[in-house]
Amino acid sequence: MTKRRGERPPVPETLPAPVVDAHTHLDACGAETPEQVREILDRAAQAGVDRVITVADDLKSAHWAAEAATWDDRVFAAVALHPTRTSTFGEAEQTELAKLAERPRVVAIGETGLDYYWDYAPKSAQHEAFRWHIDLAKRVGKALMIHDRDAHDDILDVLDTEGAPSTVVFHCFSGDLSFARACVERGFVLSFAGAVTFRNAQALREAARWVPEDHILVETDAPFLTPHPYRGRPNEPYCANYTLRDLATLRDVDPADLASKITRTAERTFGLRDVAES
């Protein structure tokens, strides 16, 4: 059993239409080199996951993600300091992130937001960093990718007070139907990870069933949150296939149709076509 939990899930049958993994961590999946990135993306392609956004959580990861996005045309990047890492967030870090954010294959500022589950950074530091990232997203004209853990009301309050960027994505959306409605009313996009497939996540599944088709994305957050029925095993971008199929069943729609609509939303949200053509 222990050995099995350490094994990756099988690569599933290819999706009938390709989809984008809107949030993954290729470095945390074990990738360091261009060859290792390509191996992960080739597995994803077998499952019909044709592009990924690899997301940073600290400055070292941000540099790596921005560089990795130049190694393979299927990879894009998001850069930020994760809210749990903001206890020391000064001018030097801000200068570096602002430079990275200007790179063409960096398509989002994230993940940033608030995390009240862990106490690694004071709330005051998290709020200050969140506001700075909101401003950065506005300055560079790129999507803001939100990390929200046990902080729904405060996240919305900060966004309302500061003025949200034109594009906001709630990564690994974890709210209920009421919170989903509040987000969609503001024009935000909700990205669902493997947790939405968990059979004990009924409030989350109810929200995912309701979200309008042009406000929904799918992600892995790999190597975390491996979808049902492989919960607890290592996650990779190809596992977005499992989440997509589960969402299609939950919403009673054709997987090909849902994949196509999610792909269009991902392309619009992150400007993927514009980047590819530049």
The Cα–Cα gap between 197 and 231 comes to: 9
Instruction: Reduce the DSSP state of residue 167 to 3 states and report it.
Output: coil
Q: How many CA atoms lie within 13 A of 249 on its CB side?
A: 8
Q: For residue 48, which of 263, 207, 268, 271 has the smallest C-alpha distance?
A: 263
Residues 6+ apart with CB under 8 A from 90: none
Ligand-binding site membership of 133 (annotated): no
Ligand-binding site membership of 42 (annotated): no
Query: Contact at 8 Å (CB) between 261 and 189?
Result: no
Q: How many CA atoms lie within 13 A of 264 on its CB side?
A: 8
Ligand-binding site membership of 25 (annotated): yes
Residues 6+ apart with CB under 8 A from 21: 44, 49, 51, 52, 53, 218, 219, 220, 222, 237, 240
Q: Which residue has the tokens 């009313």?
A: 185
Specify the DSSP class assigned to residue 121. S
Ligand-binding site membership of 147 (annotated): yes
Strand 75-79 with 49-55, pairing: parallel
Ligand-binding site membership of 127 (annotated): no
Query: Contact at 8 Å (CB) between 250 and 209?
Result: yes
Token pair of 215 as six digits = 């406000």
Instruction: Reduce the DSSP state of residue 98 to 3 states and report it.
Output: helix
Ligand-binding site membership of 63 (annotated): no
Which amino acids are annotated as binding site, given as ranges? Answer: 23, 25, 111, 147, 171, 221
Which amino acids are annotated as binding site for a divalent metal cation, given as ranges? Answer: 23, 25, 111, 147, 171, 221
